[in-house]
Amino acid sequence: MKVSDYMSATVVTANLHDGLRQTYIRMRERDIRHMPVLDAQERVVGIVSDRDLRRPSTVDVGPDTIDAFSLDDTVQVEAVMTGNPSVVTPDTPLRDALDRFVTHRYGALPVVGPDGRPVAMLSAYDLLRAFQDRNRA
């Protein structure tokens, strides 16, 4: 089995300079939890989750310090995204992708083509569908 057998072909992206609020709204409208972040050449340079947008790790600077946070567009996606994300290709064996999910506790991985541009997403839910299919046999 390959990533292409289970990846979600619809990919919704964010740009480095998109505001947090507009990105969060886009996620809610499309019922997704992860978005690849693209540079000016439309290559994947980061990934942002709905959790990153709701309460960025930059807000909690220490165990006794809590900064105020308001979800607005004055902060850009670049400030809260995970940079240099792990990616897979459609031809990546599904087992290899699963190993990355388990080892690194990923919720999703961008699927990229040879040019580094996103073609799909692979989520933990997609892996659960693969598990379900395999156990039906």
* Residue ranges making up the domain that contains 52: 3-136
User: Is residue 101 within 8 Å of residue 126, measured between CB atoms?
Assistant: no
Tell me the CA end-to-end span of the chain in Å, nearest whole number.
Answer: 14
Across residues 30-57, what is the average pLDDT?
89
CA dihedral 20, 17, 32, 111 (to 10 degrees): -150
The CATH number that applies at residue 52 is 3.10.580.10
pLDDT at residue 63 in the model? 63
Residues paired with 76 in a beta bridge? 19
3-state helix, strand, coil in the chain (%, to 5): 35, 25, 40
Read off φ and ψ for residue 110, nearest 5 degrees. Answer: -70, 140
pLDDT tens-digit map of 65-120 = 655 556 778 889 998 899 999 999 999 999 999 999 999 999 999 999 999 899 99
> How many domains, the chain?
1
